[in-house]
Structure 1
């Protein structure tokens, strides 16, 4: 039987697989690419373990996992399945059928709109929001607003990576956790 690997070792391994691309999408930006980790089978397993274990410990009351368009989708179904919970998407405008609620949010150069199906979250339901990256915080703020509009209760926002220098965390209310900080 092989020895168990620690959470810290799992995190170090995942971090070692995250790609770095200077000057993408524009000069002066160092793009951290989660897909580098997701192409490695061991990193995928470790990342799943870290996300699921964190929610088990930090938000055991969670009833539904919400993933943000588009890389948050890579995690919400996986986490929900492991925890025996439901999951729901928050998508860009025009991508969801049925009755939706919308919120516009600011981007570096303009704005965008997120939508959530009204029926996806029941009033009072406890929600964990998951995404790959916390940068300026705009998308997570919008997601939290949407969830509140339909009566959900955000118990935690969980991201794989956080760009600390952009101070997006300061814009968010409630519990926020990032696995990796840059």
Structure 2
């Protein structure tokens, strides 16, 4: 996985001073790197009977669709409030300054379906935690999340584990 780390561009002081932004678009633009990343994200779940992948807007759509294809299952978009055209279920979560809401279609998940959450990166875990709560509220079972990048210093995976959720991140970058 060392080669994959080299494909992730680090941009200092973006979006504000002191932040090291991990830009995964450079990895996704590399055909071999993208394929290896998708395979690595899907691998722990190949035998878990996943019914659908729930990808978190927006890079989670790209990775989630590819992981869903690899797992031969459906795909569910998790979007910001007001972006889905049908009846929705929403879940509020905290941001650094304020709150936001993510939504899924009310009929996207049937009770008992095993859902894998996919996103490009986990930092503090607030969005992923909200996604897990949203899936649980529909009667779906959270099979786990798969992330391309973890920022362990920010504690997102630990937050999910505190809820009893098995976690998987392909790469980790210290700092934030």
Give the TM-score taking structure 1 as reference length: 0.90
Tell me the equivalent position of 2:72.
Answer: 84
Whether 1:46 aligns to 2:46 is no
Give the TM-score taking structure 2 as reference length: 0.93
The residue correspondences of 1:3-152 to structure 2 (distance < 5 A) are 11-56=1-46, 60-152=48-140
Distance 1:132 1:48 in 2: 11
Distance 1:128 1:50 in 2: 14
Distance 1:176 1:91 in 2: 21
Tell me the equivalent position of 2:167.
Answer: 176
Distance 2:115 2:123 in 1: 21
What 5-or-longer segments of structure 2 have no aligned partner? none
What secondary structure, in the 3-state scheme, does the structure 2 residue paired with 1:121 have?
A: coil
Tell me the equivalent position of 1:3.
Answer: none
Structure of greater Rg:
1
Equivalent residue in structure 2 for 1:167, among 115, 136, 155: 155
What 5-or-longer segments of structure 1 have no aligned partner? 1-10
Whether 1:155 aligns to 2:146 is no
What secondary structure, in the 3-state scheme, does the structure 2 residue paired with 1:24 have?
A: coil
TM-aligned CA deviation for residue 47 of structure 1: 1.1
Distance 1:47 1:171 in 2: 23
Distance 1:128 1:104 in 2: 20
Runs of 4+ in 1 over 6 A off after TM superposition: none
TM-aligned CA deviation for residue 169 of structure 1: 1.9
